[in-house]
Structures are given as structure tokens and as C-alpha cells.
């Protein structure tokens, strides 16, 4: 390295990377090749002394990193860049990536469900699930940046699983769930809880009459009284059997235990007719 008059180069006595002692007169480590330059200083002419390598002056003034970088040549310049700048550049790049990710997450459009179906132990094969969701998306989603179809499969049982019951209750209380696909036993439980309405109250009378009798699943509501007795309501159709639809969309025969039902406080009741027509292939 060429030293200008009035400059002093300070070296590390030991390599900060591998700990090897600096060999006399060497600018880089003899073991790992890293630069041993600590800094370059300007000194005053008044107190010039010979220290064996370069003149030392009083009232030292450290040079900036950019000045030091400009003064170096060849390999010394490359080593100085790696030692002094590369780590800082990497840290800055990581910080910018994190900030960019946070900004994108904060500013990107949020999607709101235009139809929410709670699926208790989904009867769909993965490919059929995607097809069902895509068909509903094509029917109802107009702005994909802000709207979506929610087929929520995070419910394992609304009778036996506490977490599923709490999650379902929370979403129902928030008025988010439109429909529920579940087993007949699960449906009976929810009818008794008062969260499911009769099918004839959910869809138009004309459409109701077009649905096959065998597809209509009747339930007799039961309410448990304080004395332990049960009070029974009037039997009515609370669910629609999905056997034929599941056979068609899954591609094989499936159990007839699954039904679809409509919730009492659904936010998108206007879509009930269209969903029913799609499932039962009614024009």
C-alpha cells in the first residue's frame, strides 16, 4: 500500500478474523489473507517522528472510510471493501427486506368472504374441494383482490371437540357463517342449539319444491329444560342430503351422512338459492 506524506496506517497486531499475529511489514494476514489495516490517519508536521514504517505526527485526524477506500489499490482495496462495507451492506439489505415485507403486508388489499361455509370433517377429496371452491368463486367473486370464498375446514367436531366448538361459536356470534356442511348427527346438535333454520325459510318456495324428497333431511328440534326433561318442537327439513353431489364431484360413491344447512344469522342469505341450484343442478 502506498502511504502519502503526512499519513499513518494503523494495523491490527493480530488478525481479527483468525487471531494470527501480524507479520512485520505485512498488510494482510499471512494465514487467511484478510486485510490488517485498522485505519489511516493524517498527522501534523510539527511533531514528526520516525516509527520505522511511516512518519507520525501530532494532532491526528482520522480519515473517513470513503477516503481510505479511495486511497487503496488492487487487492488491498478489495479486502478493505469486504472487511468494512460488505457486512454493513448485508445488514442494510436485510433491514430493507423486512421493512418492505411489513409495508406490503400492511398495505395489500384485505379479502373479505362473500360466502362462508363451515365444513365439519370435510367430505371432499382435495381436488374436489378445490373444484367446489373454484366453482363458487366463479359464481360470486367479482373482485378477487378484495373478495374470496371461505371453505373453513378447521372444525373436527362441533359435539366432541372443544376447540372446534369455541371457534364455531365465535364465528357464529360474529355473524360470519352462512352455511354448514356436516354429518346428520352434527346437524341435529346445531338444530337443538337454535343456530340452523329450516330449509324452506332459507330458499325460495319454488326452488324448495324442485328438490327431491329424498334429499330433504328432517329433524325434530329438542330443547333441554331446567328439570332435565326434553321439549320437542315440530319436525321440519333442516338439511339437504349431499350424497349425489359428493358422488359427482368426488368421482365415487360416498356416504349419505353429509348434509348442507343454512345458519340463522347468515350475512349472505341472498346467495342461498344460487348455491342450492348449483349443488342440485337445478336451472
Q: Are residues 154 and 276 in the same domain?
A: yes
How many angstroms separate the CA atoms of 248 and 151, rounded? 19
| Domain carrying residue 49 | 7-106
| Residues 134 and 262 reside in one and the same domain | yes
Q: Does a structural domain hold residue 70? A: yes
CATH number at residue 252: 3.40.190.10
Domain match, 161 and 234 both: yes
Summarize the confidence of residues 22-41 as an average pLDDT. 82
- Same domain assignment for residues 180 and 271: yes
Could you tell me if 29 and 143 lie in one domain? no
In this structure, are residues 105 and 261 in contact, taking their beta carbons and an 8 Å threshold? no
pLDDT reported for residue 66: 64
Assess whether 154 and 217 both reside in one domain: yes
**Residue 43: inside a domain, yes or no?**
yes
Q: What span, in angstroms and rounded, lies between the C-alpha atoms of 127 and 68?
A: 63
Question: 59 versus 235: which is more confidently predicted?
Answer: 235
Residues 230 and 260 in one domain: yes
Q: Does residue 94 sit within a domain?
A: yes
Residue range 113-122: average pLDDT? 93
Q: 18 is written with which cell numbers?
A: 483468525
Q: How many domains does the chain have?
A: 2
The answer to whether residue 190 is domain-embedded is yes
In b/e form, how buried is each residue of 243-277, taking b as 16+ CB within 10 angstroms? bbbbeebbeeebebbbbbbbbbebbbbebbbebbb
pLDDT band of 47, cuts 50, 70, 90:
very low
Residue 243 within a domain: yes
Would residue 171 count as lying in a domain? yes
pLDDT at 69: 62
Distances, alpha carbon 130 to alpha carbons 113, 172, 251, in Å = 16, 24, 14
Is the pLDDT higher at 237 or at 27?
Answer: 237
DSSP conformation class of 242: -
* Residue at which a domain ends, from 58, 89, 106: 106
Nearest residue to 81 (alpha-carbon basis) of 65, 62, 93, 63: 65
pLDDT of residue 56: 41
The C-alpha atoms of residue 243 and residue 255 are separated, in whole angstroms, by 6
Contact predicate 5/55, CB 8 Å: yes
Residue 2 lies in a domain: no
pLDDT of 60 above 50: no
200-224 core/surface letters (b: 16 or more CB in 10 A; e: else): eebbeeebbeebeeebbbebebeee
User: What pLDDT is stored for residue 170 in this prediction?
Assistant: 93
pLDDT digits (tens, 9 = 90+) for 158-186: 888 899 999 999 999 999 999 999 999 99
Task: Give yes or no: residues 199 and 134 share one domain.
Answer: yes
Kindly state whether residues 38 and 58 are assigned to the same domain.
Answer: yes
Residue ending a domain, choose from 89, 106, 123: 106
For the chain, what is the mean pLDDT? 84
Q: Which of 106, 136, 170 is the last residue of a domain?
A: 106
Examine the domain organization and report whether 64 and 138 are in the same domain.
no
Q: Which residue has the higher pLDDT, 129 or 251?
A: 129
Q: Which DSSP string do the residues of 18-54 spell out, in sequence order?
A: T-PBPPTT-SB-TTT--B-EEEEEE--STT-EE-SSS
- Same-domain pairing of 183 and 100: no
> What is the model's pLDDT at position 68?
67
Q: Is 1 within a domain?
A: no
- 116 and 90 together in one domain: no
| Mean pLDDT, residues 119-126 | 90
Amino acid at each position: 500500500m502506498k502511504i502519502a506524506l503526512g499519513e499513518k496506517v494503523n494495523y491490527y497486531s493480530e488478525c481479527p478474523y483468525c487471531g494470527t499475529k501480524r507479520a512485520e511489514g505485512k498488510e494482510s494476514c499471512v494465514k487467511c489473507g484478510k486485510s490488517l489495516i485498522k485505519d489511516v490517519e493524517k498527522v501534523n508536521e510539527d511533531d514528526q517522528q520516525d516509527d520505522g514504517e511511516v512518519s507520525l505526527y501530532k494532532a491526528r485526524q482520522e480519515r473517513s472510510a470513503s477516503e481510505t477506500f479511495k486511497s487503496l489499490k488492487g487487492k488491498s482495496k478489495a479486502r478493505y471493501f469486504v472487511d468494512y462495507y460488505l457486512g454493513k451492506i448485508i445488514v442494510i439489505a436485510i433491514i430493507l427486506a423486512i421493512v418492505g415485507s411489513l409495508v406490503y403486508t400492511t398495505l395489500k388489499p384485505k379479502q373479505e368472504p362473500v360466502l362462508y361455509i363451515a365444513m365439519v370433517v370435510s367430505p371432499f377429496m382435495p381436488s374436489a374441494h378445490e373444484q367446489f371452491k373454484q366453482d363458487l368463486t366463479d359464481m360470486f367473486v367479482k373482485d378477487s383482490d378484495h373478495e374470496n370464498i371461505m371453505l373453513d375446514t378447521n372444525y373436527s367436531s362441533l359435539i366432541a371437540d372443544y376447540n372446534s366448538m369455541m371457534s364455531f361459536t365465535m364465528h357464529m356470534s360474529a355473524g360470519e357463517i352462512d352455511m354448514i356442511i356436516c354429518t346428520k348427527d352434527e346437524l341435529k346438535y346445531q338444530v337443538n342449539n337454535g343456530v340452523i333454520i329450516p330449509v324452506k325459510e332459507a330458499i325460495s318456495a319454488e326452488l324448495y319444491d324442485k328438490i327431491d324428497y329424498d334429499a330433504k333431511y328432517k329433524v325434530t328440534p329438542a330443547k333441554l329444560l331446567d328439570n332435565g326433561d326434553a321439549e320437542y318442537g315440530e319436525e321440519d327439513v333442516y338439511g339437504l342430503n349431499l350424497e349425489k353431489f359428493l358422488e359427482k364431484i368426488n368421482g365415487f360413491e360416498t356416504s349419505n351422512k353429509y348434509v348442507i344447512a343454512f345458519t340463522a344469522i347468515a350475512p349472505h342469505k341472498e346467495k342461498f338459492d344460487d348455491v342450492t341450484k348449483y349443488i342440485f343442478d337445478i336451472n
